[in-house]
Chain A
Amino acid sequence: MKTVRRALIGAGVLSMTYAAIGALADPDVKGGALLFLIGVLIAHDAILLPLVVGVGALIGRFVPLRRRALVRAALLITLAVTIVAVPLVLGAGRAADNPSLLPLNYGRGLLGIYGAIWVSAALAAAARAWKERPARTPSAP
Chain B
Amino acid sequence: MVRDLAAGIVGLARRGHAWLNTPLPPPPATLRRGPLRRGAFESRLRSPRLTSLLGSALAVAFTVCFVTGLISHFIQHPPSWFVWPSRPVNLYRVTQGVHVATGLASVPLLGAKLWSVYPRLFGWPPVRNLAHMIERASIAALVAAALFQLISGILNIARWYAPMPFFFTAGHYWSAWLAIGALLTHIGVKLPIIRTALTRPTPDRVIDGGLTRRGLLGAAGAAAGIITLATAGQTIAPLAPVSVLAPRRPRSGPQNVPVNKTAGDAGVRNALFDPAYRLTVAGPARTVRLALTDLAALPQHTVALPISCVEGWSSIGTWTGVRLRDLVVLAGADPDDAEAYVESLEARGRYRATTVPPTHVRDPYTLIAMRLGGEPLHPDHGYPARLIAPNRPGVLQTKWVSRITARSAP
Q: Which residues of A contact B (CB under 8 A)?
A: 1, 4-9, 11-20, 22-23, 26, 28-33, 35-38, 40-41, 44-45, 49, 52-53, 56-57, 60, 65-66, 68-69, 72-74, 76-77, 79-81, 83-85, 87-88, 90, 92-93, 95, 97-104, 106, 108-110, 112-113, 116-117
Contact = CB atoms under 8 A, between A and B. Distances in A.
Given A37-B145, A81-B226, A29 B244 contact: no
25 contacts: A5-B189, A9-B184, A11-B184, A12-B186, A12-B187, A12-B188, A15-B180, A15-B184, A16-B182, A19-B177, A33-B171, A73-B218, A73-B222, A77-B222, A84-B227, A87-B160, A88-B245, A92-B158, A97-B264, A102-B248, A104-B244, A106-B245, A108-B244, A112-B244, A116-B226
B211 A8 contact: no
A33 B148 CA distance: 9
B178 A16 contact: yes
Contacts of A83: 107, 111, 154
A37 B209 CA distance: 38
Contacts of A66: 209
B390 interface: no
Given A77-B108, A81-B230, A104-B244, A69 B181 contact: no
Given A45-B114, A100-B249, 13 more contacts: A9-B185, A9-B188, A11-B184, A12-B185, A33-B148, A72-B210, A76-B220, A85-B230, A87-B155, A87-B160, A90-B158, A92-B160, A116-B226
B181 A14 contact: yes
Interface in B230-274: 230-231, 244-249, 252-254, 258-260, 262, 264-265
Contact of B166 (A13, A28, A80, A98): A28
Interface string B37-60: 000011100000000000000000
B152 interface: yes
Nearest to B112: A76
A138 B163 CA distance: 67
Interface stretch (B8-16, B136-144, B318-326): B136-144
Contacts of B265: 95, 97-98
Contacts of A20: 178
B245 A113 contact: yes
Closest 3 CB pairs of A and B: A15-B181, A109-B244, A32-B165
B73 to A, nearest CB: 12
A69 B215 CA distance: 8
Contacts of B227: 80-81, 84
Contact of A90 (B104, B160, B245, B252): B160
Contact of B185 (A16, A37, A56, A102): A16
A80 B222 CA distance: 10
A101 to B, nearest CB: 6
Given A5-B188, A5-B189, A69-B215, A41 B147 contact: yes
A73 B209 CA distance: 12
B164 A22 contact: no
B121 interface: yes
A98 to B, nearest CB: 5
Nearest to B40: A53
Contact of A76 (B43, B163, B186, B219): B219
A19 B181 contact: yes
A40 B170 contact: no
Contacts of A49: 114-115, 118
Nearest to A106: B245
A54 to B, nearest CB: 11
A30 B211 contact: no
Given A16-B182, A117-B226, A103 B252 contact: yes
A84 B243 CA distance: 13
Nearest to A77: B223
A103 B108 CA distance: 25
B158 A88 contact: yes
Contact of B170 (A28, A97, A103): A28
B294 interface: no
Nearest to A94: B159
B191 A5 contact: yes
A113 B209 CA distance: 26
Contacts of A16: 138, 141, 177-178, 181-182, 185
A102 B159 contact: yes
A4 B188 CA distance: 7
Contacts of B111: 76, 79-80, 83
Given A29-B174, A41-B144, A76 B245 contact: no
B209 A65 contact: yes
Contacts of A108: 244
A74 B219 CA distance: 7
